[in-house]
Amino acid sequence: MPPKHGPWRAHIVLHDVAERQIEAMSDADREVLDAAIVRLSLDHRVGTRVEGKLEWEYRDDRVRIVYIPTAVGTIILVAYVEVD
């Protein structure tokens, strides 16, 4: 029997800095960023932990996201975003 809902996702919270960065982006850049944020919400371990810090960093061809997941990964605080 198939599941009644999609996969579990973490709740994404944007820091004020990240919100301002997103507001300044074009719609095309927001689409690219949105896909990366969805990947993070499904598994925060797709990024790399910054040595000696609480922060993690996710990078792909065009996106860089600095974030802090909670201990169990249910909430992810996005602190900084870039789209090239």
Handedness of CA 47, 75, 3, 31 (dihedral sign): negative
**pTM (predicted TM-score):** 0.87
The domain ranges of the chain are 11-83
| CATH code for the structural domain at 11-83 | 3.30.2310.20
Structure tokens at 38: 């969805």
Each residue's pLDDT tens digit in the chain (84 positions)? 666 766 789 999 999 999 999 999 999 999 999 999 999 999 999 999 999 999 999 999 999 999 999 888 899 999 999 999
Structure tokens at 42: 């499904």
